[in-house]
Amino acid sequence: MRFNKIAFLVSAQFIFFGSATSFDLHAQAIEPSSPVIDVHWHFPGQKDLEPTIEQMKQLNVKFAVLIGTSSQLQAAETANKGLILPSLTFPCENGKLANIGVQCFEDNSVFPSIPSLRDQIRNGKLKALGEINAQYLGISPDDPRLEPIFSLAEAMDIPVGIHMGIGPPGVAYEGPRFPPVKSHFYRGAAGNPLLLEDVLIRHPKLRLYVMHAAYPFREEMTYMLYMHPQLYVDLSVLQWAIPRPAYLSYLRSLVEAGFGKRLMFGSDGNTTRLKEGIDAIRNADFLTTEQKSDILYNNAFVFFRLSSDTK
């Protein structure tokens, strides 16, 4: 959910960031305790990449799923010191990411080619696929255009993350009051997690995680987690895009429903947002120590099948 190229004030409670210049490289580090895996991190820009990685390490981040375009992931290769898990984002509208306007593919295609994805996965260039931003184009997850992607991911056993639920308020509208980069086809109906049901039944071995826990589809998300035990979610963006009580209520409902082992932490923002998200989990008084460790680290370690020597 990379929201905008500039900071966009929606209200006193909602500020969304999306460009390299939004990264707060002077964020105060917290005292590291339990390790962290960030399963939803966006490319900060080449000049900010190294200092951002160093700050993440200060926050005891052991791995981070870096979501980016082909060129962004290529630019990050030299900085990969065992922390970065590269993940390709798509689809693209007229060759550009619908939510931030960054060029995706040189041929202006909407989706990457299957042979290209297969080669990059085999060569270790990609460790995951996503953020699949189909909702920004009004494409639902059960759309036939996504079927080859899911089939490949299942066959090659590579994780997939899909954007569902909320986006930047007003993103489908014209006018200066709304985000500067438009996604005219963004529709909430395309972000309902129930639309994943046929996908999961067709691909029972697919390692799929729903980004943003499909907020605010609480009942639908609960149903999907109950009925599809292979499904995971990330909690990215919710720690700063909605009021904290709403975030904690949503988190608590998923934990109390019995899904604490399938919730994963994500920042979807700069190092300030990363710290806010870590603190939100560590300070949640309804979570046990074990549940906090699971959300911040253990669940993602299992889902992504990591090891201490993962490269």
Q: Where are the alpha helices (DSSP H) in the chain?
A: 46-58, 70-76, 114-122, 147-156, 197-202, 218-227, 238-241, 244-256, 271-282, 289-293, 299-303
Classify residue 123: in a domain, yes or no. yes
How far is the C-alpha of 265 from the C-alpha of 45, rounded, in Å?
Answer: 22
pLDDT for 6 beyond 90 = no
Classify residue 309: in a domain, yes or no. no
Classify residue 311: in a domain, yes or no. no
**Domain of residue 128, CATH code:** 3.20.20.140
Structural domains in the chain (count)? 1
Classify residue 40: in a domain, yes or no. yes
Percent of the chain predicted with pLDDT > 70: 89
pLDDT for 148 beyond 90 = yes
pLDDT digits (tens, 9 = 90+) for 209-242: 999 999 999 999 999 999 999 999 999 999 999 9
Q: Which two tokens stand for residue 218?
A: 């609480």
pLDDT digits (tens, 9 = 90+) for 8-29: 333 333 333 333 333 343 334 4
Average pLDDT, the chain: 88
Classify residue 308: in a domain, yes or no. no
Classify residue 1: in a domain, yes or no. no
Write out the residue range of the structural domain in which residue 117 sits. 8-303
Classify residue 310: in a domain, yes or no. no
